[in-house]
Amino acid sequence: MISEGIQSTPFSPWADDYGINTFFLVCTILMLFVGTVGNILVIGSVFVHKKLRNLGNIFIANLATADLCVSAFINSFGIVGLITKGWYFYYHSALCTAIGVICITSCSCSMWSIASISVNRYICICHRFFYPSVYNKKTVIFMIAGLWTTCFLIDLPNLLGWGDHGFDPKIMLCTYDYTKAYSYTFFFIVTGFGIPLAAITFSYTNILKFAMATKRELRNITNKDDDKKTRVIDSSDLRLLKSILTILVVFLIMWSPYAIIVVFDKNATWSRGVYVVAVILAHLNSSINSILYAATNKNFREGYWHLLSMFFCSCCRICRTRQTGDYKSKSDSLATIETSVSNVALNQR
């Protein structure tokens, strides 16, 4: 088992696998940089850009927060594991357990956040009359807290002895021990991915049905003076649906290899290269969602530019303030020197 192996010796049998280790290290550094900057852009844009500042997009900010945990926190310690070949975590087992908890919780929260966004769009489009009572400032806060609590509870069995956490020498990373209890692995796949996927499927199926019914209803209206009002999906809803559907498809593609590995390779006998590629794809998913938003949604592109312009303008103002302060300081110093010279001259007279 992973945890027993790391407790018996800190040495990894793949410590001298320089080719894969170097490739893995370079990919992890790139994912750390791209994911950290990108997810900060998403979170900042939602709270700063006027077109994105609404309750529904809080769930998008929450998705970016979960992805930021993977991109910035997990990848940082992945670099530590690759550089030290696991020795660092051999002497810091409590930290390794904490990293495993955050890894499973944040990865689960990514999928649950996508599901929350889908359900939010479903209620907004198909049950708009009930939307304000379901989603308001008070309820959204409890929903976000409930998401993180649920995802922590998914990992809690590892802390209670059903599963375990430890350093996996194949991927040089602290995670959960998928070889200790296959029943927990099945539980993790069902609760972390199966249930959210069912909610997403339900939401998009009903949104599609609603859209088709709306089109049929519009075709049946022949009298232009008819007062009958039909709820039509507006362009902003369509853009967001396109973005979330793209993110969902990419998520499933990138996490499928890892899910296949933990389900079918019960004894962890498959080659290390397969594991490394699967983990890179899974963690890369948390780094590219911001790029997908920019590629599929004009409002997010505007939000990124707005946030970046605010940042650079602030930097310019700080630089100008410092330059003005330095100039004033130099002027004051020169004035002081001139005054001193004048006083000395007067005294000599």
Burial class (CB in 10 A: 0-12, 13-18, 19+), 22: exposed
Which of helix, strand or coil describes residue 86?
Answer: coil
- DSSP letters along 169-205, please? TTTTEEEE-TTT-HHHHHHHHIIIIIHHHHHHHHHHH
Which of helix, strand or coil describes residue 88?
Answer: helix
Tokens for 64, please give them.
Answer: 């970016």
pLDDT at 348 over 60: no
Entry pTM: 0.81
Give the pLDDT band of residue 191 (cuts 50, 70, 90): very high
- What pLDDT, on the 0 to 100 scale, is given for residue 113? 93
- What pLDDT, on the 0 to 100 scale, is given for residue 1? 39
Give the pLDDT band of residue 2 (cuts 50, 70, 90): very low
- What pLDDT, on the 0 to 100 scale, is given for residue 165? 92
Sign of CA pseudo-dihedral 326, 327, 330, 331: negative
- What pLDDT, on the 0 to 100 scale, is given for residue 155? 95
Give the pLDDT band of residue 344 (cuts 50, 70, 90): very low
Give the pLDDT band of residue 51 (cuts 50, 70, 90): confident
Higher-confidence position of 268 and 252: 252
The dihedrals phi and psi of 241, each to the nearest 5 degrees, come to -60, -40
**pLDDT of 15-42, one tens digit each?**
788 899 999 999 999 999 999 999 999 9
Question: How far is the C-alpha of 335 from the C-alpha of 13, rounded, in Å?
Answer: 71
Domain ranges of the chain: 2-296, 302-349
Residue 311 per-residue DSSP state: H
Domain 2-296 has CATH 3.30.1240.10: no
Specify whether the CB–CB gap between 179 and 268 falls below 8 A.
yes
- Pinpoint the alpha helices (H) of the chain: 2-8, 18-48, 58-68, 75-84, 87-90, 93-126, 131-134, 137-160, 182-189, 195-220, 235-264, 272-296, 298-348
**pLDDT of 149-166, one tens digit each?**
999 999 999 999 999 998
Tokens for 238, please give them.
Answer: 């369509």
Q: Give the residue from 278, 225, 231, 285 showing the smallest Cα distance to 256.
A: 278
Residue 221 per-residue DSSP state: -
- What pLDDT, on the 0 to 100 scale, is given for residue 145? 96
Task: Give percent above pLDDT 90 in the chain.
Answer: 39
